[in-house]
Structure 1
Amino acid sequence: MKDVFKAALLLIVLLGSLGVRAQWSAPYANSWIKYGKPYVKIGVAKKGLHRIPFSALPKNLPVGSPEKLQLWRRGRQVSIISTDHQEIVFYGLPNDGASDSLLYRPATARMNPYFSMYSDEGAYFLTAGDVAGSRASMVNQPIDAQLPPLASHNEHFIKLFQEDYSLSTKTPVRPHFFNSFFELGASRTSEPYKEGTDLILDFKLEHYVETGQKPTVKLLLHGRSNNSRKIQVYIGKNKGSLRLVKALDNTDFAGVECTFEMEVGDVDAEKSGILLVKSVSGERSEGFSVAYFSVRYPQSFQMGKLAMKEFALGATTEKWSRASVEGLSSKFMTLDVSDADNPIVLKATGESLMIPRKANQKQLILATSETTDVVPAKISAIDFEPHDPKAGNYIIITTDELRDGAAAFAEYRSSPAGGSFKPLIVNIRDIYDQFNYGEPSPVGIKRFMSYMLSDSKDKYLFLIGKSITQNEKMVRELPGEVPTIGYPGSDILLVEGIAGAPVNAPAIPVGRLSANTNQQIMDYLEKVKAYESNQSGEYAWRKKVLHLSGGKTTSEILQLKNHLRGLEPYVMNGLLRGKVTHYVKQQPMEETESVNITKEVNEGVGLITLFGHGAAVIVDPNIGYAREAARGYNNVNKYPVMFFLGCGVGNVFGNRFNVNPPNPKSADRIPLSLDWLLAPGRGAIAVVAGSYESFANTGINHLEALYQHALANPTSADLSIGKIHWLVSNEILEKFKDKHHIAHVHQSLLQGDPALKLITVDRPDYAIGSEEGITLLSGAADQPIGEADSLRVSLALSNFGRFVKEQQVQVKVTSAGKNGTQAKTMDVTAFPSEKVLKVAFRLDKEVQTIRAEIDPERAINELSRNNNVAELDIEWDLVKDKPAFSNANNKDNIPPIIEVKVNGRRLKQGEPVLPEPEISIAVSDNRLLYTDTTLVDLFIKRCAGDDCDFERITYAGGKLTMSETGSKELALNYPSDLAPGEYEIMVNAKDPSGNAVVQQYRMPFKVEEPGKMQYELVLSPNPATSYLRFEVKTGGLPVKSLRYVIHDQRGNEISDKTFTVPDNSSVLEWYWQRGAAASGLYIYKIFLIGEEEKILGTKSGVVSFP
């Protein structure tokens, strides 16, 4: 018997799965559309009759033959009530979210039929057909007085709760595990009720009729903590008369339904009562919530003061029923809306109504005296354009607002440089209209993609636009969004299990650019162009890989480090033959540890993999944001691919899109991963990261498969990042069937263009450096070259591209001088990365040039030939005393020096200055400097501490200027507009060789109003020895000059000097040297002098010289 039950249950599950999968295949959701016909979309926000005058319809819809007007909803034609009087009247419904069930697993897990996940607005489409449209039939049956009137109808009272979400992530009490598809009856609910807190629900059975039929109560409850519980449901007249009706077993966050019949004693004489719900678990974090409760009970037929009411009739075998509705009058229209798409108008006589019955079927009758006029904003012309599955293999889904940026991307991808794809740009609203009957939902994207893959699966999907799926932050109707599925968000689920793909597996590669503006799209497109055309002109950086591992405990740090160490052979011994640099967290602690990878990133790395704890706005080790000024990232044209294994690093679905938040802790600050992707001229080219939780074992399995396909497997290494991501997803799903691996695949988000080639080193690239590639050596160690009887030439060869095993590489070395030319040619076996080749020559002090050339016959197909030749010019007077010589001897390794002043002086930490201070920067170097604005960056932070970010001061505005003050000196000037407040200044500088200053300049300071600044003198030292240091804080006085006078104790004048004060100076500083003055006491007096020699203030005192 148990086996039979198990088999039956398995069959139900399989049939349910097949039913959902069938929803994605033919007939497709656009099969109802007659292309070429004009359509008008109508939005309906409430249940009932709706009216649209012909004059309110768009001009594209002909209304000359109103009988041909057709109304459609969810692919079915709707019977219009009337097209008389130059207007359309129809019965309409809001969106009940029925298609949401396609996103639940199983579909029956959508337990709340009264909640729509994405949209409240019903969508109807009006068109002019070739034949007459469907019209509501009318029944005008005379009242049969012999037929007894119905005693009651089944009133259905519903109370919904939508204050919270059953799978909320806004508190620490949340499920231990999240899938991206909806499950466990996920729904909006009440706020959670904690252990010991009773949920009390009042109800009243209005106009109750005693029929012998017991009222039925139904509740949908949700657990809200990670534990098992008993949920007890009581009913009674009041708290003192409760009876226990159900004790429900419930676990974790699952939904559970409760249905029971009400007894006579459960309500008072007024037919009022209460429901009391409480949880019994004993857990401290225990909680539960309610999604809805409803009561069905027999109620008399009466309108009361209502303008609209529904009457639910039970099933019968009779052909007719008569209803007598108190309060029904000629101002009401009555309809049978049992089939909402085919209402039947029922003509009433007074308060009586004859209703034709359908055998053994329940029926719903509507009486209404109101008709809603559809507002113009909910009426729009629609011009359906058919989509040809063969028309595109690079599909972009975006919004109206981002169309221009998407078009630029499509133009590039259609060009030979971009891969000669056939791009197709599709508006998300068009997808909703054609493939989800006008209702906003990711269901539309999945249906559309199933249709577009009906001919071939060799395609890409690129989603350009944001998606907000954190339930508490979602916006109804999804304005300006390109939605993902679920929270944690999953773009893979948009193409999962369609077009023949297995359940859980993506059918095609999919990537997302969560851009908010066209400029962000253009900035990213420029990075893609630079990456794919290698505008850096170099390839060596792409073979460098950066590993970063974190951890909170010693054992965890070791575990994560070893996981990444296990991947190193794929880099060093695979096709790339690259180099790995590994940063390991040093301190076992809960807090993140900052790591400085600016040098490596700016020099160029092809791949960055970080394995550690994380969140949307931080990772551990903490590498910071790409646009974080203090980090100094500036990797123009050298953009890495980034892989993050850390919880929520790829979560771009939490409504965080502010690139310039008021402070770094703002709730809307852009996610770190998205900042790295969108940052113009820096950051990453693509990011792969999980949208929610990451687990070490599943993560490392995913990473190992990715490294294998991207770096070691010759059949997949040359594929795009999207196809590699697709291959890895399918491979993981084939090997592992547990929920953690499935969720990891679903939630592994590819941010960036899926058609992007991952690391384009598909050919070798042999190179010899121009500076250190050729080194001249004496015949013996430590012997000067000038004393040697033979010479050796050392060649430092590199391979910046792919390693082709056993390939023979020819190298030709030529020495030329006054005595002629010597040439030697050697064959070198291919090498993965670096090789040193030494060649001996006879001594000839007349040699002037040594030239080395790789592959002089051009027999090898390389990535670049621009680095195959190097020359070394020899000046014997310069080299004769050295044991070795190369062009590196002349290499510039010395960084520049910067000096920063505010209002003409070097600031002290926290020093106050006057409003609108002038900032000047002096840069000096050991080599020539030119007015190149890329050499110096000035940043201002408009707060103290870490409550805001640095802002870069641009040269574009014209206020920040740069000039040459000497052949090796630059001067920058910035007359600021800084108002009173706290600030911090930061300056970065480098020389033309790329040497950055040893330490960036950072200094916090204050801007104060003149009236609030201190007026004081600081004199030091006292007693003094050989000098005095004066520091005067002017207190904001408009000082133009300063005079100081010093007398000895006998009144003899020792010094009297005056100097001009720079404008806006708040602090004046100078020194007085004692010179030959005798020991003793000295009197000083200081005069602050303003316009027209007016004395603004004085300071005086005595100082001792022992």
Structure 2
Amino acid sequence: MYLNLRRLMFTACLLFALTGGQFAFAQFNAPYTDSWIAYGKSYVKIGITKKGLHRISFASLPKTFSVGAPEKLQLWRRGKQVSIISTTNNEILFYAVPNDGARDSLLYRPTSARMNPYYSLYSDEEAYFLVNGDAAGNRAKVVNQAVDQKVAASVSHEELATTVLSKEYSLSTTSAVQKEFFNSYFEIGASRTGQTIKPGNVATENFALTNISDGLSNASIKMMVHGRSNLAHSIEVYVGKDANSLRLVNTINNYGFEGTEFTFKLLPADVDANKKGVLTLKIVGTERLNWFSLAYYSIGYNQQLDMTGLLTKEFRFGPANVVTNRLQIKGAPANATSLDISNTDDPIVVRGSYDNLMLPRTSGKAARLLVTNEIFTIAAEKMTEMSFKTYDAKSPNYIIITHKNLLDGVNQYAAYRASKEGGAFKPLIVDIADLYNQFNYGEPSPLAIKQFMAYMLGQGGKDKHLFLVGKSISANEKMIRELPLEVPTYGYPGSDALLVSGLLGEDKDIPLVPVGRLSAISNQQIVDYLTKVKDYEQNSAGDLGWRKNVLHLNGGKTLEEITQLRDLLGALVPDVTNGVVGGKVTPYVKKQAMAETEVVNITPDVNSGVGLITYFGHGSTVITDLDMGYVTDASRGYNNPKKYPMMYFNGCGVGNIFQNKFNPNPGASDRTTLSLDWLMAPNRGAIAIVANSFESFVSPAANYLDHLYSSMFVEPATVNLTIGQIQLAVAKKVISQSRDSYNVSNVHQSLLQGDPVLKLVTVDKPDYAVSASESITLNSQSKTINFDKSDSLRLNVVISNEGRFVKGQKVPVRFTYFGSKGNKVSSQTVSSFPYQDTLYAAFINSKDVQRIEVSIDPDHTISELNLRNNVAELELDWDFLADKFNFSSANNKDVTPPVLTVNFNGRMLNKQETIAPNPTISLYVQDDRQIFADTALVDVYIKRCADESCEFEKVAYASQNFTSDSINTHEFQLNLNTTDFPDGDYEILANARDLSGNISVQAYRMSFKISTEFVATRQMVVSPNPASTYVKFSVIADPKDTFATGRFLIYNQAGLLVEDKLTTISTSNFEWYWMPGSSTPAGLYAYKVVLSNDQTQASKTLSGKLVLIK
């Protein structure tokens, strides 16, 4: 899904229609959903998946659960006590039903928008709780009313035969046609539904009626249809005996993807002699995308009271002004039980003879009677003994909700947050399974989190942060029933914000507390993220100036789009440069106006350190159209330990982490999402990400981003807040200004991935710095007069602010000139600056100054983050400087990257070349500065496939047989003697860096094949290459070959022969050394080895090139 670039312009009328503000929505207030619980008691949770009578033997209950006082056993469902039918005979007999999804209505707007009563969004299993109460438990009443012949006999009931279709989801995102706009809350009857019906096709349902009692004089069919495209739909409904005798009943008018209910009368002529018929629906018109589906249909008709051949039957009776029905039920099974289940939680046992069963009625109310001789025995695995925790709502201010499999990692994380270094928070760790039981009556649903947070905030105040640790799968087609090992988000598209919105009577669209999520699927991922958080908060990088660097990236498909998005980001630059961060913005703009993606290289920026990366453009879960790539993609070379940026993405679906995509394989359809990859990557990537969980529209996205930048960088009331609190402030501003649907959904779907208590990008104090390696420049009197002849000298000093920009601050700077004739001191005062400033000073050239020291705030009058970077010096050697015009400490800065050369078995490979198993891989690193043999300076990655079905894996030197050698002070060699390279396709990727951190300009990347059938015939191994003092030539020949001599010829770049040597060969493998003399210049040389059967006849020639360095 790509960024939607429509401009959003609304008339007042349309705005009113969109916002309305009249939704009926659930109140999440006291009394809380745990109010039914008797804390301190032991409960047994019972899972129910079938409707009917259930039996639990005392012996099957957990051994520690007491049944010593059966009369005190209580059964609870959804906060209400259920009347148990019997606790005699050492068993519990009760009536129960599976999960009907009724509580899902609290996730809809309005609640009445849940139109399909036959589908539960998350769970099929209903939870019942058994407990030993302090008082006697409720028991089902038993009625055995004498037969009253004065009451007219009832021989029929109102049968309701329902067929539910659930093949698809009405708002499917896997369909080629999707709703133009998605809210995160459920709406317009969204539910499972039948197969999509397209023009030219029909939905056909065959039905059969049984035991009709009145010739269908009062029969009807109720159905629900869903529109499945962004059009107005006219759906014709037909019914008849068969496909050739259909009558047009009516036309259902439906729009877009909404659900529509329709009821019509079923006529006697609509069924055949066997009471069978056909229901058919089809679309009117031929518009290609005019689609719909059927969700369910229910046929209501009067049916005889006849159970012949049945073990269970439910009889329905409509409201009537009677106090009793006398029922004459035929064919009731032997030993059947009759229950009045008009109130599911309070069944009544009805006894009597089935030829004249007296059913008490409540005047004006409907009634339902269950007759059954089936009893379902509850298996032991469906019962779990448990106790409910008492949560202290007042003390905790940092709440972590997770699941049982992640508790080890979460406990480590909470311990850090509780420490002084971690902020001295008061963490509370909550298992989501406990919340399901305690705050949602045992039913898995995001409502459990919402109800729990209502309790915590209502009883303990709102000064809290919520951190969700665990995955959530909210795409309906991918959801797993009962939400195992998930921490659920709210709705679809997923919204963590809605989990904490609308609580305690507050605004339904604005989160009440900050919330962030870490979609970890393992404890190791939590520990890895914790390491990054510690690095970030404890400034393991050693400086903070890198956080002031901001990258702006924008995509676009057309020139107009690219320009529009560039300008929107450009308008935010002053917030960064002039705000408290005082940062520097580097823009990256898509260069080509095209629908295809364009690769952008931000690796050098990221590796050097950036505080914020903001992207605005098209996107999906795995790519952005200005493609920065995955941080774990070895070919990109990302390596930013301890310098983790915050990332903000405006692009459709970039933040959609709710699609069950956690596969690291690059070629997999369920590949880990781009944003999750950046967040979860150990020791690199991002520290926090804000991105939209579904679609992005330009106007609301730009509006949100404008408020976010203002809140992060400009406004005094918010710049010091946590990122979670800043999000709350942004939400309030956006909603207060415009509550149109697009702004509201953008607030709901702006998902924070990462810890919400992080304080990102900005810091709380300034940090004035002068660099010892590049800040000070000494200039001669003029460009035409050198130092020796200059009467005066000019000094330029670049000072930077690596911390907060505090406007109006005065910064003292002292210059000290240390000379053989004494020291001189001068001072300046400069006004505070956001990022960087340059000071100028001049002094008489007495030629005795040996050292110049620049000291910022020498008397420590300013409170700074770091005082260690306040002093820099410039050493002066006048003999060296005499004929020069300028000199800088930056002259000594290492900015040249090393050169990396990779050989296999002593030579360079060609692409896709086949070699023998377990090659020796030699890596040569050459630099312009002194460098030592160190494996930490060379990263090697191997991919063991020829396509994208696998990914690069970093080679662990400890697991390989390797050697390292210093060739000279500027060059070293690593040799990997591989042992685990069998037949197959491979690709190698290698990077080198020098001691200053400069990375080789281009990574070495080569694909190759390995085969045991490969014979290393007449191979030439040349090492080292590049070389300096010697070169070893090794010839590996086929044992079948017999050579008598080898002639070695070496040519320089001009083609002149510089070495010619003839040697006798006694074996198939032999070596020869060339020792170039001191007079042999550095450069590129060509070599040729002529293998001969005798001294006159050439048979084979091997050639190649080598580099000689001095």
Structure-2-length-normalised TM-score: 0.90
Equivalent AA in structure 2 for residue 599 of structure 1? P
Deviation at 1:146, TM superposition (A): 5.7
Deviation at 1:967, TM superposition (A): 4.0
Name the residue aligned to 1:202. 206
Distance 1:391 1:40, change over 3 A: farther
Find 2:611's aligned residue among 606, 609, 632. Answer: 606
Q: What SS does structure 2 have at the residue aligned with 1:1004?
A: strand
- Conserved in 2, the CA contact under 8 Å of 1:982 and 1:1006? yes
Name the residue aligned to 2:464. 459
Q: Does 1:863 align with 2:865?
A: yes
Task: Identify which range, 216-225 or 204-213, moves more after superposition.
Answer: 204-213
Name the residue aligned to 2:983. 980
Counterparts in 2 of 1:275-294, with a 5 A limit?
Answer: 275-294=279-298
1:505-530 residue CA offsets vs partner (Å, 9 max, x unmatched): 11111111111111111111111111
Deviation at 1:652, TM superposition (A): 0.3
Aligned counterparts of 2:1070 and 2:238: Cα–Cα separation in 1 = 83
Distance 1:427 1:47, change over 3 A: same
Equivalent AA in structure 2 for residue 567 of structure 1? L
Name the residue aligned to 1:160. 164
1:411-459 residue CA offsets vs partner (Å, 9 max, x unmatched): 2222222222221111111111111100000111111111111142221
Deviation at 1:856, TM superposition (A): 0.8
Task: Identify which range, 955-964 or 584-593, moves more after superposition.
Answer: 955-964
Q: Does 1:557 align with 2:578?
A: no
Deviation at 1:964, TM superposition (A): 4.4
Distance 1:136 1:500, change over 3 A: closer
Q: What SS does structure 2 have at the residue aligned with 1:1043?
A: coil
Distance 1:395 1:922, change over 3 A: same
Name the residue aligned to 2:685. 683
Name the residue aligned to 2:325. 321
Aligned counterparts of 2:137 and 2:991: Cα–Cα separation in 1 = 72
Counterparts in 2 of 1:798-809, with a 5 A limit?
Answer: 798-809=800-811
Counterparts in 2 of 1:605-1004, with a 5 A limit?
Answer: 605-658=610-663, 660-661=664-665, 664-959=666-961, 962=964, 964-968=966-970, 969-1004=972-1007
Q: What SS does structure 2 have at the residue aligned with 1:193?
A: coil
Aligned counterparts of 1:904 and 1:374: Cα–Cα separation in 2 = 72
1:332-360 residue CA offsets vs partner (Å, 9 max, x unmatched): 22211111111111224365532222212
Q: Does 1:25 align with 2:33?
A: no
Where in structure 2 are there 5+ consecutive unaligned residues? Answer: 1-12, 1021-1032, 1048-1060, 1072-1085, 1103-1110
Aligned counterparts of 1:281 and 1:665: Cα–Cα separation in 2 = 42
Distance 1:891 1:185, change over 3 A: same
Higher relative contact order (CA 8 A, sep 6+): 2
Distance 1:961 1:239, change over 3 A: farther
1:976-1035 residue CA offsets vs partner (Å, 9 max, x unmatched): 42232222111011011011112110111111231x7797999xxxxxxxxxxxx9999x
Name the residue aligned to 2:1043. 1043
Aligned counterparts of 1:801 and 1:710: Cα–Cα separation in 2 = 14
Find 1:502's aligned residue among 502, 507, 511. Answer: 507
Counterparts in 2 of 1:140-289, with a 5 A limit?
Answer: 140-144=144-148, 147-210=151-214, 213-289=217-293
Counterparts in 2 of 1:528-539, with a 5 A limit?
Answer: 528-539=533-544
Deviation at 1:137, TM superposition (A): 1.4
Deviation at 1:486, TM superposition (A): 1.4
Distance 1:755 1:171, change over 3 A: same
Q: Does 1:117 align with 2:125?
A: no
Q: What SS does structure 2 have at the residue aligned with 1:701?
A: helix
Distance 1:1061 1:214, change over 3 A: farther
Aligned counterparts of 1:1074 and 1:430: Cα–Cα separation in 2 = 79
Distance 1:544 1:765, change over 3 A: same
Task: Identify which range, 773-782 or 998-1007, moves more after superposition.
Answer: 773-782
Name the residue aligned to 2:375. 371
- Conserved in 2, the CA contact under 8 Å of 1:328 and 1:351? no
- Conserved in 2, the CA contact under 8 Å of 1:613 and 1:620? yes
Equivalent AA in structure 1 for residue 423 of structure 2? G
Distance 1:348 1:859, change over 3 A: same
- Conserved in 2, the CA contact under 8 Å of 1:929 and 1:970? no
Aligned counterparts of 2:1016 and 2:853: Cα–Cα separation in 1 = 69
Find 2:450's aligned residue among 421, 446, 453. Answer: 446
Q: What SS does structure 1 have at the residue aligned with 2:535?
A: helix
Equivalent AA in structure 1 for residue 1088 of structure 2? Y
1:648-670 residue CA offsets vs partner (Å, 9 max, x unmatched): 11000000012x22xx2312111
Name the residue aligned to 1:386. 390
Name the residue aligned to 1:1009. 1012
Distance 1:1059 1:852, change over 3 A: farther
Aligned counterparts of 1:883 and 1:334: Cα–Cα separation in 2 = 108
Q: Does 1:1072 align with 2:1089?
A: yes
Equivalent AA in structure 1 for residue 807 of structure 2? K
Deviation at 1:14, TM superposition (A): 7.9
Amino-acid identity (%): 48
Q: What SS does structure 1 have at the residue aligned with 2:959?
A: coil
Name the residue aligned to 1:1084. 1098
Deviation at 1:1062, TM superposition (A): 9.3
Distance 1:51 1:14, change over 3 A: farther
Aligned counterparts of 1:1059 and 1:591: Cα–Cα separation in 2 = 58
Task: Identify which range, 455-464 or 28-37, moves more after superposition.
Answer: 455-464
Deviation at 1:966, TM superposition (A): 4.5
Aligned counterparts of 1:526 and 1:901: Cα–Cα separation in 2 = 36
Name the residue aligned to 1:36. 40
- Conserved in 1, the CA contact under 8 Å of 2:216 and 2:268? no
Aligned counterparts of 1:961 and 1:530: Cα–Cα separation in 2 = 33
Name the residue aligned to 2:1080. none
Counterparts in 2 of 1:545-584, with a 5 A limit?
Answer: 545-584=550-589
Aligned counterparts of 1:688 and 1:346: Cα–Cα separation in 2 = 60
Equivalent AA in structure 2 for residue 716 of structure 1? T
Q: What SS does structure 2 have at the residue aligned with 1:239?
A: coil
1:129-159 residue CA offsets vs partner (Å, 9 max, x unmatched): 1111111111223444564431111111111
- Conserved in 1, the CA contact under 8 Å of 2:918 and 2:977? no
Deviation at 1:165, TM superposition (A): 0.4
Task: Identify which range, 689-698 or 326-335, moves more after superposition.
Answer: 326-335
Deviation at 1:947, TM superposition (A): 4.4
Aligned counterparts of 2:21 and 2:911: Cα–Cα separation in 1 = 71
Structure-1-length-normalised TM-score: 0.91
Name the residue aligned to 1:1094. none
Deviation at 1:553, TM superposition (A): 0.8
Q: Does 1:131 align with 2:139?
A: no
Equivalent AA in structure 1 for residue 1098 of structure 2? Y
Aligned counterparts of 1:1062 and 1:995: Cα–Cα separation in 2 = 39
Name the residue aligned to 2:1025. none
Deviation at 1:320, TM superposition (A): 2.3
- Conserved in 2, the CA contact under 8 Å of 1:774 and 1:796? yes
- Conserved in 2, the CA contact under 8 Å of 1:109 and 1:183? yes
- Conserved in 2, the CA contact under 8 Å of 1:917 and 1:975? yes
Q: What SS does structure 1 have at the residue aligned with 2:936?
A: coil
Aligned counterparts of 1:702 and 1:59: Cα–Cα separation in 2 = 57
Deviation at 1:263, TM superposition (A): 0.7
Aligned counterparts of 1:279 and 1:960: Cα–Cα separation in 2 = 71
- Conserved in 1, the CA contact under 8 Å of 2:600 and 2:626? yes
Task: Identify which range, 566-575 or 684-693, moves more after superposition.
Answer: 566-575
1:70-108 residue CA offsets vs partner (Å, 9 max, x unmatched): 110000000111111222121111101111101111111
Equivalent AA in structure 2 for residue 572 of structure 1? T
